[in-house]
A and B are shown apart, each in its own frame.
Chain A
């Protein structure tokens, strides 16, 4: 209660100076906040003589849409439900329960007000004992409420049980100050339950005021820190609650929340569409860095030289191959095959090998070529059932990606956040949690934790982090491979570079992987792609044998490999309050581009004899 005392004593600071000497100044005792207008505690019971199968829309005046809703509901009920005639004693019993419900609400409200303004607000959640006491109280009240729900009472009151627990969920927000996901869930619950509250308010107008106040308090609680910051920025001292500030902020935040949820819904919709078209599922986002050089292979302008060849006429397919390398040589192999069409699924289509002028292209490092491609299908194979020509271009490629993670001591992070100081002042600059990958037909994303910086608790023996690596085929989607469809045929090798002291502790389902499982730790000398230093880097070589577990997933356009990295907690920060550790992945894979050209062969006219 120390902070609470301080807070209480801070209040007189703004008052006029030094009062005359008086015994035991009353300012010492905590002044009750009592911003709640005294509600009518004893409402008139519901008229027992009216069975009211469809309640008339006696609604709180300002909520016009509620009355519309109720009118529609009443009409619906009248049409579809039987009129239940209860005897007078039953109705009276329900009314009594409703009255006791009202008293219950009053009690809950009073306690919540007391909790927030004295316990949470004044101590800024520092006083755990106060919080804990009220938590127990809520649990107790919740149990009583649940027991009463077992009785036969009105549906609206039952629904209100949800409403009772809904705002309390907002209090959980304090435990996830940096979690967008938790915020989203809470926001979703808030808006999801809102129609039920309106319905309940419409059915129970006598306690609508209490509900309304209850919501205000909970919203106040939900946005407490933001409200305080806003009030301070506007020069308002929030020693006493300012509902004006709260409401203003509520509307601002509600707008933001609605916009955010709209974006999320749009995103869900587009992801669903992507899933339906085979392009998307859960995946780790990657981000292409702006300064990379373009490298890779593309096939362009593939076409038949004769737009409608005649039967038996030689067919020439032409195109252009473009390829750029930077650090590694590149071997490209091409094939050209023609296919016949058939309407009968029992008859297999026939493959006709074409002849390529050049079937192989070898590029050195830092090479840039543009070659013409010519494929000839001999005339004897160009028949009436001729369908298409496919040019397949295969090559082995390497794509790299890296993710910088910033780590900070747990208590220091809390303190800096408490003081509302920017983490960048302490050198925490990598807070996006997004990997950057080099150009090529696939993108690679690495994800550890969304909430950066990552907290380190030195009291624990080790820190483990999930590391997801997603390989996504982005070649066709981003127009990187030119004309055609690209596919990752196989991932042949993966190098995982972890900044020391991090070590790979799991790959897929393999715990503490070893060389017998196709995963081995190697020296920097055995790592071909980049200079590295064994003193600061752990390098892992993941062979094709270990990667084959994902083989069936290549065709879906992307796949995610789940790994785990660990480090002794006391070594992560070294001697520093904030440390950066980089995780990098180098993927070696085979890629194939298939470019199709449809050819409509003109039937040869039969000569009249």
Chain B
């Protein structure tokens, strides 16, 4: 009997392992927050509590700051109303990211006798750093005019759906430009990037919106870019999201030393984007007698 139980345990364990081998780098979420059992109606003078679950639904480890606020004439939240968090992200072997439950308390103001109701919004704001790692296979073909059987055909590579982060690579295009040395071609990559979630992209390390400080214009949308082609670093132009521009935003990276003239082959283009992200969740409360 014991032997059967061990076999069964082994099978279950194997089955479990099969499930978690999915690619973790999918989805368009970073750190998400959610009110747990939100309170919609409260009484005047009541002491209320708010539970908020903060979870890292993406693949990058993230550290950040939070703040919670409301209309002080309706709801006075008790200190501390600000804090910091650090959460590990999803991996291939841990398909659920780290979570943290935050608790806040407050007191609802009394209503004037002639007032029947009052309303207020409770806003929970997060500012956190995040990283997007995107890897796509690109076809490098220095001899497009040759019609031999090739291992790959060059063309735009779609990477839609996100890479487990709020900012994602959507499309990669490559062009081969003639290099300074004959027989060497310089690959130039146009990497289209999009803000896939509800929040606002900030420069890495910026927490100002969650600290009541003014955020400089240049700190919005600033994204750090690193890219490699088969582990050889590329040179990328500084990149900043232009939120008002229609369509996608493009990062341009090149390999200045170039690639030699050779038959078509597949290479891995790895792009790493580093940035800050600001997001808010809101809950409305109604004070009723």
In the complex, A126 has a CB within 8 A of chain B: yes
30 contacts between A and B (CB under 8 A): A2-B240, A7-B245, A9-B190, A10-B192, A10-B248, A13-B248, A13-B250, A17-B155, A17-B173, A20-B145, A21-B176, A124-B242, A327-B113, A327-B114, A400-B112, A409-B209, A411-B215, A412-B200, A412-B215, A419-B200, A438-B114, A458-B212, A500-B72, A530-B110, A533-B72, A575-B81, A575-B82, A577-B125, A578-B123, A581-B71
In the complex, A144 has a CB within 8 A of chain B: no
When the two chains form their complex, are residues B282 and A429 in contact, meaning their CB atoms are under 8 A apart?
A: yes
When the two chains form their complex, are residues B284 and A575 in contact, meaning their CB atoms are under 8 A apart?
A: no
In the complex, B103 has a CB within 8 A of chain A: no
Shortest CB–CB separation between residue B287 and chain A, in angstroms? 12
| With A6-B242, A418-B243, A429-B121 as contacts: A576 and B215 at CB distance below 8 Å | no
CB neighbours (8 Å) of A291 from chain B are 116-117
Residue of A nearest to B252 (CB): A9
In the complex, B137 has a CB within 8 A of chain A: no
CB neighbours (8 Å) of A238 from chain B are 246
- The 0/1 profile, CB within 8 Å of B marked 1, for residues 223-250 of chain A is 0000010011000011100000000000
Interface segment, A108-116, A351-359, A420-428?
Answer: A420-428
Most chain B CB within 10 A, of A126, A411, A424, is at A411
CB neighbours (8 Å) of A126 from chain B are 242, 244
Shortest CB–CB separation between residue B251 and chain A, in angstroms? 9
Among A12, A124, A537, contact of B244 (Cβ-Cβ < 8 Å): A124
- The 0/1 profile, CB within 8 Å of B marked 1, for residues 379-418 of chain A is 0000000000000000000001000100001111011101
In the complex, A574 has a CB within 8 A of chain B: yes
In the complex, A18 has a CB within 8 A of chain B: yes
Most chain A CB within 10 A, of B171, B240, B245, B282, is at B245
Shortest CB–CB separation between residue B273 and chain A, in angstroms? 15
When the two chains form their complex, are residues A412 and B71 in contact, meaning their CB atoms are under 8 A apart?
A: no
- The 0/1 profile, CB within 8 Å of B marked 1, for residues 108-143 of chain A is 000000000000000011100000000000000000
When the two chains form their complex, are residues A575 and B245 in contact, meaning their CB atoms are under 8 A apart?
A: no
Shortest CB–CB separation between residue B158 and chain A, in angstroms? 11
CB neighbours (8 Å) of B130 from chain A are none
Across chains A and B, the number of contacting residue pairs, with CB separation under 8 Å, is 189
Among B81, B114, B145, B156, contact of A13 (Cβ-Cβ < 8 Å): B156
- The 0/1 profile, CB within 8 Å of A marked 1, for residues 275-287 of chain B is 0001010101000
In the complex, B70 has a CB within 8 A of chain A: yes
Chain B, range 90-119, C-beta contacts under 8 Å to A: 109-110, 112-117
> A415 vs B81: C-alpha distance in the bound complex, in angstroms?
25
In the complex, A38 has a CB within 8 A of chain B: no
In the complex, B274 has a CB within 8 A of chain A: no
| With A3-B242, A291-B116, A425-B198 as contacts: A411 and B69 at CB distance below 8 Å | no
CB neighbours (8 Å) of B115 from chain A are 292, 438, 530
When the two chains form their complex, are residues A19 and B175 in contact, meaning their CB atoms are under 8 A apart?
A: yes
- The 0/1 profile, CB within 8 Å of B marked 1, for residues 288-314 of chain A is 000111010000000000000000000
In the complex, B14 has a CB within 8 A of chain A: no
Most chain B CB within 10 A, of A3, A17, A400, A577, is at A577
CB neighbours (8 Å) of A457 from chain B are 214
> A228 vs B243: C-alpha distance in the bound complex, in angstroms?
13
In the complex, A579 has a CB within 8 A of chain B: yes
CB neighbours (8 Å) of A411 from chain B are 214-217, 220
Shortest CB–CB separation between residue A489 and chain B, in angstroms? 22
When the two chains form their complex, are residues A570 and B250 in contact, meaning their CB atoms are under 8 A apart?
A: no
CB neighbours (8 Å) of A545 from chain B are none
Interface size class for chain A?
35 or more
CB neighbours (8 Å) of A429 from chain B are 121, 282, 284
In the complex, A25 has a CB within 8 A of chain B: yes
Shortest CB–CB separation between residue A8 and chain B, in angstroms? 10
Among B69, B109, B144, B153, contact of A574 (Cβ-Cβ < 8 Å): B69
When the two chains form their complex, are residues B177 and A415 in contact, meaning their CB atoms are under 8 A apart?
A: no
- The 0/1 profile, CB within 8 Å of A marked 1, for residues 131-144 of chain B is 00000000001101
When the two chains form their complex, are residues B112 and A6 in contact, meaning their CB atoms are under 8 A apart?
A: no
Give the A-binding residues of B (Cβ under 8 A).
67, 69-74, 76, 81-82, 109-110, 112-117, 120-121, 123, 125, 141-142, 144-145, 153-156, 171, 173-178, 185, 190, 192, 195, 198, 200, 209-217, 220-221, 240, 242-250, 252, 278, 280, 282, 284
In the complex, A100 has a CB within 8 A of chain B: no
CB neighbours (8 Å) of B142 from chain A are 21
Shortest CB–CB separation between residue B117 and chain A, in angstroms? 5
When the two chains form their complex, are residues B154 and A293 in contact, meaning their CB atoms are under 8 A apart?
A: no
Residue of B nearest to A415 (CB): B220
Given contacts A21-B185, A237-B246, A410-B214, 14 further A-B contacts (CB under 8 A): A6-B245, A17-B173, A21-B177, A21-B178, A23-B178, A126-B244, A411-B214, A419-B244, A457-B214, A458-B214, A535-B76, A536-B76, A576-B69, A579-B69
When the two chains form their complex, are residues A580 and B214 in contact, meaning their CB atoms are under 8 A apart?
A: no
> A7 vs B174: C-alpha distance in the bound complex, in angstroms?
16
Among B81, B195, B213, B252, contact of A458 (Cβ-Cβ < 8 Å): B213
> A411 vs B31: C-alpha distance in the bound complex, in angstroms?
23
> A21 vs B183: C-alpha distance in the bound complex, in angstroms?
11
4 tightest CB-CB pairs across the interface, nearest first?
A: A17-B155, A458-B214, A327-B113, A427-B123
Shortest CB–CB separation between residue B13 and chain A, in angstroms? 43
Shortest CB–CB separation between residue A358 and chain B, in angstroms? 27
Shortest CB–CB separation between residue B44 and chain A, in angstroms? 9
> A427 vs B245: C-alpha distance in the bound complex, in angstroms?
25
In the complex, A372 has a CB within 8 A of chain B: no
CB neighbours (8 Å) of B221 from chain A are 415
When the two chains form their complex, are residues B198 and A575 in contact, meaning their CB atoms are under 8 A apart?
A: no
CB neighbours (8 Å) of B145 from chain A are 20
> A125 vs B154: C-alpha distance in the bound complex, in angstroms?
35
Shortest CB–CB separation between residue A572 and chain B, in angstroms? 8
> A20 vs B112: C-alpha distance in the bound complex, in angstroms?
77
Residue of B nearest to A18 (CB): B154
Among A419, A427, A574, contact of B121 (Cβ-Cβ < 8 Å): A427
In the complex, A607 has a CB within 8 A of chain B: no
Shortest CB–CB separation between residue B12 and chain A, in angstroms? 43
> A419 vs B166: C-alpha distance in the bound complex, in angstroms?
14
Most chain B CB within 10 A, of A500, A570, A574, is at A574
> A292 vs B112: C-alpha distance in the bound complex, in angstroms?
11
Among A6, A415, A576, contact of B200 (Cβ-Cβ < 8 Å): A415
Shortest CB–CB separation between residue A33 and chain B, in angstroms? 16
